A and B are shown apart, each in its own frame.
Chain A
Amino acid sequence: MRASGPRARRASPVVRLPVPRGALAFTLEHAGEEHLVVSLGTPREIAWPATLTASERAIAAHIVAGRSTEQIARARGRSSRTIANQIASLLRKLEVASRVQLAARLQ
């Protein structure tokens, strides 16, 4: 016990983060290299306010997938300014401060 104490403290400064809800992880061999797969569960169901437009709902799904404004703009064929405006109104209606908070709430 005494011998392992100081050594263990020096060797493990690692902070543990909890496993995300419903996550599964496994490894697989591909092209001679080991790969890790993390599978995150389905997004939590939340009651969307009826005031959300169809575009805002579609954009919410993109945000949950972790996509950037530019990526959403390309996927939807709109300018990034339009998407930025739609994200702003989406966040206002859902009463969250940022897309990061939105993603966390749906996790």
Chain B
Amino acid sequence: MTEGLSPRADTCLLRARVIEMLDAALVRGAEPATRARTGALWDEVCAGRWEFIDRFEHAGRRLLVARRAARVRGGAALTRAEVLCMAAVLDRALQKVVAADLGVSESTVSTHVRRAMRKLGIATRAELALLVGEGAEREGAAGSAT
């Protein structure tokens, strides 16, 4: 955080930078390069190496801003169980599969989800659903089968 600035003023500055960078990526043709890097950065998010600190909307896009997660050990802050449970958040049936796979109860699955949300700085399950999306259901099922 910038010294001498209130948290709110700092957030405004950061948002302005984000919008500037996004416009550069989308408008000035840097998009392919950004797209190529997205996968690697997304894997870091899934490992819990970033925690979300701000979210806002701009030009119809939903933007999430994160900083380096404070407590990361062994390359990942999220445990494997937490990621599996997070992937199953949209699907009750899949939650049962994951619970059986991990050998825990379904309420433990929601505990894992809650922990993962706290580590990622996500406040609501609906917000988590935006990140996990529909495709994650199949991926999670495939992951738990192996």
Q: Which residues of A contact B (CB under 8 A)?
A: 11, 13-21, 23-28, 30-31, 33-42, 63-68, 99-105, 107
Contact = CB atoms under 8 A, between A and B. Distances in A.
A18 B87 CA distance: 10
A105 to B, nearest CB: 8
B142 to A, nearest CB: 10
- Describe B's contact surface by its main secondary structure: helix
Given A35-B67, A100-B90, A104-B90, A41 B133 contact: no
17 contacts: A13-B76, A14-B83, A15-B140, A19-B42, A24-B26, A26-B38, A35-B18, A38-B41, A38-B42, A38-B66, A63-B126, A66-B124, A66-B129, A101-B129, A104-B133, A107-B129, A107-B134
Interface in B1-20: 1-2, 10, 13-14, 17-18
Nearest to B123: A68
B55 to A, nearest CB: 7
A107 to B, nearest CB: 5
A9 B57 CA distance: 40
B64 A40 contact: yes
Contact of A28 (B17, B64, B86, B131): B17
Given A14-B46, A21-B135, A37-B64, 15 more contacts: A17-B87, A17-B132, A19-B39, A19-B42, A23-B38, A36-B41, A36-B50, A36-B66, A37-B21, A38-B131, A40-B61, A67-B126, A68-B124, A104-B90, A104-B130
B68 A17 contact: no
A98 to B, nearest CB: 8
Given A107-B133, A107-B134, A17 B139 contact: yes
B46 A38 contact: no
Interface of B: 1-2, 10, 13-14, 17-18, 21-22, 25-26, 31, 34-35, 37-39, 41-47, 50, 55, 57, 60-68, 75-76, 79-80, 83-84, 86-87, 89-90, 123-136, 139-140, 143
A24 B129 contact: no
Q: Which 8 A-B pairs have the closest CB atoms?
A: A66-B127, A25-B41, A15-B83, A103-B129, A13-B80, A31-B2, A36-B66, A18-B135
